[in-house]
Structure 1
């Protein structure tokens, strides 16, 4: 039988696999073959085995078997003791009992350390068997028990996706109530509520909140989605739904395919909401963890992210309007359409982003639920764990809290930055290394197990200015793993050049190469990540040293060719040139001299560019604006792309940039600034344009330093408006005494007549505008 798992869990019965059979049935199968174990590295194997058996016998520990095993440990094959336990939760108990044998704990010293006792059972199961969710498996079963399992190949089944959104208000003091739920999927577009009105959309009207939740559950049961998607639903919708269902005594078990309902868990600082067997994906997590560095949106709200990615956005409705619509019973159709639009946007975002998340799931070899919530560091970690199991390597332990704290104190030199030449320049070619740091890892065999090896002290890969070298004889674990991804992506990009960009095959391969790029580009940072299992300050330091060496080589050779370098940062160089052809030839010559898989690319040509100074002396890296041959602006590091300034300030700077760079009319730019300031003073502005948005990363009560958005959030809570971890707070600054935080008011409670216009002019409009204009003022001429 062919089976396509979409979710995985563990229980006392074994590993639970939920998915789709080849004939389209949604089924659950159990694999009881998983046996929990951990590894012990002995210093004296015979003595350690005897002492462990004695402890197990005397303490009646739940150990089922003790065997010997050989594993690769940081590049060397070592002998380990393998201890099996009855249940997975027994691993920690048994490990705690035998760790007293370590010399560092005052024991006999017969064991050095223990490994692989902290990884969850279903994650270990996937890594051990080299499986992942979202891949076809050929299974033999007896009833619902799996007897054999192996990978298979077939076209993926169509997954049913349901998006939902809730409208919540405080009907009674301190008690959030759900007044509306919208659902959107293929062939389904509906709002559920409990106030009658003339609705212009499909609306189911029930008698109260309890019936609303019941009706939502019935819709989920009838539609039977494989994936339920929302936006910020981990932190907001799911916890509220779970609590209201509990208070109103509504059974929401059917939301999960094992009838367990919503399971909330704390992961680091954030809560996750799980529906076992039916995957809950909070699109916000993927946007926040993976997409945020490349988005221009000032805050990662559904409104802004949809606008940027989909070209579509939410309907306009403020919280006060929602309250009034519900309390007074008017504009309920507007509220319903507002709620439904949110679900539609989430559904469209999921169609766009789920292919990327699914590819990452297959690369890491983990579950769709977990992968959708992984930051860059975890994506690399689980890819490494998968590769480690494939090569019979030991998975390093996660560092302890104290060790993480110590690592956080460690610093080292990063990438090379040539300070930009302030001012306006014409004819700029930008060249950059393709995946510089990952290609250095692969080319120089940079890995923990190849660092300062015994065999290559004189002949290994040397690191400039450091007493480090890397082995030339034995392939390192991390370097091999990253090179495989680099080569796979290179092959995919070759295939893409032969395909029609509109074809399904092109989109499929492009999605895969982007997922590979995500993990490839995170590989360097993982070495320096304090909580990394494969942490190495020396490897990270070596990578940046080699990066500095090669970008300096490019600059030196560019000058020898007659180009004028005006700026460089880590992996890219900005060269003033006379012709593009000369640069292309230069790149070709450079690439002939580069070692291994390193490659220099031509990014683009810009007709002109502006590099601006810091506020106080010097110049800032990555603070520039460029104009390409089609007249398009590319902006980096300027306030236009910052999220902590109001829209009015950003829009003013962007228009000034456009006038200066495209129209080349500096007097007009100064005049425009005067007009913008005058408009503010005369009240000719939209209040929304003065709002600054910031997100709460934890509950309001946990903040020690009260910044403006926290102060504004507190004012909302005082007015019984629900906000919490994950909420985006929009605030303005009003007149009065005290600090900026003391004068920060949420937009919902702002008084237009009290806006502190002088604050906005002096602290936002003028600084951002003059960052551009003072360059021209100083030069006293344009070109």
Structure 2
């Protein structure tokens, strides 16, 4: 027996069956830069039973037999259920699949009150119980193995321990992209690029081989060659854009059609599609597959101003460059002419963008993985609430708390159908333009309230604080314990403390160093989890769901923002807008604002803190269609000439470019020049150009995403009508696809006249004038008395006098 030891960074984890027992595999990279897989056969699956423990019950449980398997052993343990110590039975079984089988066998017994922790995946359970953190380092010792696995080292471990080591090893990253045409839904090209400079485009048919382009006999040979390149380049990470929902599905379907094996993994297995709700994730054993689109859709999308989350738009925003300019028709024409250089350039650019985006995304995924304690593969595909939940699951184990069960479908539906509770307080803004505006907001308002007032399911309505006015929720009949720290407030407090420590470290590190970037990404990961904690209480699929906790946090939020507004009014300053956690107050200058801030913060309890964001020279707050001011719809001009916009079409994703550009000009002219007359003139010039046919098609395209299957739409809206036309023409359209269309001239409804952007030969100017440009402009101009009639017909003059608030 050859002994071996290694230090490695954990990149992934799964398990396989050996002699009818589960064996965990830890995939990683050593400190010497070698690929490694570690086997651990010592972990046994289990779940918990809450029951009145008797010798008879234990005996009957031990005698249950399913498929020739019996329970391995039963232990009596004590755990906490929502903070309350409870005796439980810990039931060990041989295989991970046996957990649900034996749970089903006992769940209907009268002497069994509840079963717990039966739905946690075996490999996730292993990470939690062993205290191992992905993308952190471990030291392993054991027997060196000779296995048919494409890894430099294979160790059967008998000792695994965590070690302190910063950073992660140098990793090989490979990006890929495929191009298809409508004819037989054929894959015509596959591009590959990695972070060591390798680049290649594979295609097939009658064409000459040229630099970086390899021509294969057919589609089958091209797919086989792609798999061969991946195995030879041996990447640690495979990246792409929308590869879960498109590229890998298409490649596996085509491989099946051609009856060829499509092997990218390190253990010789084919791609496994793991079901996650309505979509699946492509798992490649031994290599970390990251679909950049998944992470952007779930986590980063809300922070981007990109119109749609396509590779082109996201790359333009994050990288400053986009895709090669080619339409579907251009690609098909190039293919028919066998213009492989053109196709290769287009396809390779997509891989290049995915590879460059991965440099931005991978560090963020890794840091989230380290905070949450689950693999980068899983974390990159989680929503905000799922990230919070897996952090709570790990911490529950560490606190000896039982992990609540995932709610059943009926319970989730009941939660979804519950009437909405009152959210944040909004004082509608005074319409028009204002000067000298100070913007304040509460630092992490809801997390701070959760900590300060100890809001957690197990602290609700405790006996010890009954009748204490400090414990009571404003305007509600319930209270939260002031004496015993709650499970979730404790974790949120730890997160805030951790982020503050990281931010303090950042102050003493040079900004252009890898260590600074690592600290930044780590504090950002902590920030994401902290700010997502409030929403988790109200998330219908939450294990720690508590509507009372969620509405109590909102009630405290309303209390504090009203309190600050009252303090401002007592000082004689004008509060022009308040919304949930933000306040816009007229202040003389920054010094005045900071003095007010100091007085407010001295009055706030616990970790509550108000922050001063900035002073703004002017700001527009616009009315809604009902005549009252609209919520979260404003534009601000700071003293450096920068404009901040919130709630207008300029930052929305469902309006044509011409509407957004016109509105942007209107806002800029009013804020910087104070001239609504000039703004109206700009709108009228745009209308004239539309009627003269002088607007580029690119500015007329409307982008709308399909959020469900086409058959689920009751009304045929324009984007649904266009999606159906695209499918009829042979396009592959599915849930999540972004539909690009133009409203053309002619007879019939708007939906009937909606055409795919690439096919639209003309446009309906009156549609764009009356349904896009004028409504977008009036979102701002209505604050100054303008109507649609004024813009389209009358020559009406207005001044800003009476609209300025000093």
Aligned 8 A contact 1:169 1:722 in 2: no
Q: Which residue of 1 aligns with 2:506?
A: 496
Matched, 1:187 2:197: yes
Q: Is the contact between residue 389 and residue 543 of structure 2 (CA under 8 Å) also seen in structure 1?
A: yes
Unmatched segments (≥5 aa) in structure 1: 102-106
Kept in 2: contact 1:169–1:179 (CA 8 A): no
Following superposition, the deviation at residue 266 of structure 1 comes to 2.4
Instruction: Map 1:234-249; keep pairs closer than 5 Å.
Output: 234-249=244-259
Cα distance, 1:461 vs structure 2: 2.3
Q: Confirm or deny that 1:544 pairs with 2:554.
A: yes
In the TM superposition, what is the alpha-carbon distance from 1:780 to its structure 2 partner? 3.7
> Which residue number corresponds to residue 12 of structure 2?
7
Alignment of 1:437-476 (within 5 A): 437-459=446-468, 461-476=471-486
How does 1:244-323 map onto structure 2 within 5 Å? 244-253=254-263, 255-323=264-332
Residue 198 of structure 1: how far off its partner (Å): 8.2
- Looking at structure 1, the residues matched to 204 and 434 of structure 2 have their Cα atoms a distance apart, in angstroms, of 63
- 1:502/1:619 CA distance change after superposition, 3 Å: same
1:282-431 aligned at under 5 Å gives the runs 282-330=291-339, 332-410=340-418, 411-431=420-440
Task: Kindly provide the CA deviation profile for residues 316-349 of structure 1, in whole angstroms up to 9, marking residues without a partner as x.
Answer: 111111011101223x322211111111111111
Q: Do the aligned partners of 2:675 and 2:799 also contact (CA within 8 Å) in 1?
A: no
Partner residue of 1:535 out of 545, 554, 559: 545
**Equivalent residues of 2:178, 2:187 under 8 A apart:** no
Whether the aligned pair in 1 keeps the contact of 2:62 and 2:73 (CA below 8 Å) is no
SS of aligned partner of 1:342:
helix
1:781 is the counterpart of 2:791: no
More deviation, 178-187/538-547: 178-187
Matching residue within 628, 636, 642 for 1:626? 636
Residues 55 and 453 of structure 1: CA distance in aligned 2, closer, same or farther (over 3 Å): farther
| SS, match of residue 64 in structure 2 | helix
| 426 and 741 in structure 1: CA distance in 2 versus 1, 3 angstrom threshold | same
Shift of 1:195: 5.2
Q: Is the contact between residue 639 and residue 768 of structure 1 (CA under 8 Å) also seen in structure 2?
A: yes
Distance 1:589 1:535 in 2: 36
Counterpart secondary structure, 1:470: coil
Q: How has the CA–CA distance of structure 1 residues 210 and 57 changed in structure 2, closer, same or farther, with 3 Å as cutoff? A: closer
Q: Which residue of 1 aligns with 2:604?
A: 594
Contact 1:455 1:471 (C-alpha < 8 Å) held by counterparts: yes
* Residue 573 of structure 1: aligned partner: 583
Query: 8 Å contact 1:132–1:362 — kept in the other structure?
Result: yes
Aligned to 2:443: 434
Please, which moves more after superposition, 671-680 or 55-64? Answer: 55-64
Structure 1 position 21 matched with structure 2 position 30: yes
Of residues 157, 161, 167 in structure 1, which corresponds to 2:179? 167
Q: 1:214 to 1:378 in 2, by over 3 A?
A: same
Aligned partner of 2:165 among 129, 151, 154: 154
Q: Deviations over 1:344-380 (max 9, x none)?
A: 1111111011111100001111011000000001000
Cα-to-partner distance string for 1:409-450 (whole Å, 9 max, x where unaligned): 222110011101100001111001110000111111111111
Q: CA deviation at 1:693?
A: 1.0
Q: Residues 165 and 183 of structure 1 are in contact (CA less than 8 Å); yes or no, is this contact kept in structure 2?
A: no
TM-score, normalised by the number of residues in structure 2: 0.93
| Partners of 1:307 and 1:179 in 2: CA distance | 24
Q: Secondary structure at the match of 2:118?
A: coil
Offset, 1:57: 6.1
Change (3 A) 1:562 1:201: farther
Q: Is the 8 A contact 2:745 2:753 kept in 1?
A: yes
Alignment correspondent of 2:671: 661
Q: d(CA) in 2 for partners of 1:94 and 1:290?
A: 37
Conservation of the 8 A alpha-carbon contact between 1:626 and 1:633:
yes
Give the C-alpha shift of residue 232 in structure 1.
0.7
Aligned to 1:485: 495
The change in CA–CA distance for 1:57 and 1:157 in structure 2 (over 3 A counts) is closer
**Take 1:59 and 1:222, find their aligned partners in 2: how far apart are those partners?**
42
Q: How far apart are the structure 2 equivalents of 1:439 and 1:382?
A: 21
By how many angstroms is 1:132 displaced? 2.3
User: CA 1:200 to 1:690, structure 2 compared with 1: closer, same or farther past 3 Å?
Assistant: farther
- Return 5+ residue gaps in structure 2 as ranges: 1-5, 145-154, 787-796
Aligned to 1:203, which of 213, 216, 221?
213
Secondary structure (helix, strand or coil) at the match of 1:748 reads: coil
C-alpha distance after superposition, 1:39-95 (max 9, x if no partner): 0111x2227734743762699753111111110110111000111111111111111
Equivalent pairs, count: 769
Shift of 1:219: 1.7
- Between 698-707 and 179-188, report the one with greater CA deviation: 698-707
Distance in 1 (alpha carbons) for counterparts of 2:654 and 2:295: 21
Which residue pairs with 2:789 in the alignment?
none
Superposed displacement of residue 500, structure 1: 2.6
487-496 vs 76-85, which deviates more?
Answer: 487-496
Q: Is the 8 A contact 2:677 2:799 kept in 1?
A: no
Deviation at 1:736, TM superposition (A): 4.0
How far has the Cα of 1:12 moved from its partner?
1.4
**Mapping 1:105-124, distance limit 5 Å:** 107=110, 110-124=111-125
- In structure 1, the residue matched to 2:40 is 31
Cα RMSD for the two superposed structures: 1.9
TM-score (norm 1): 0.95
Report if aligned partners of 1:62, 1:90 keep a CA contact under 8 Å in 2.
no
8 A contact 1:169–1:178 mirrored in 2: yes
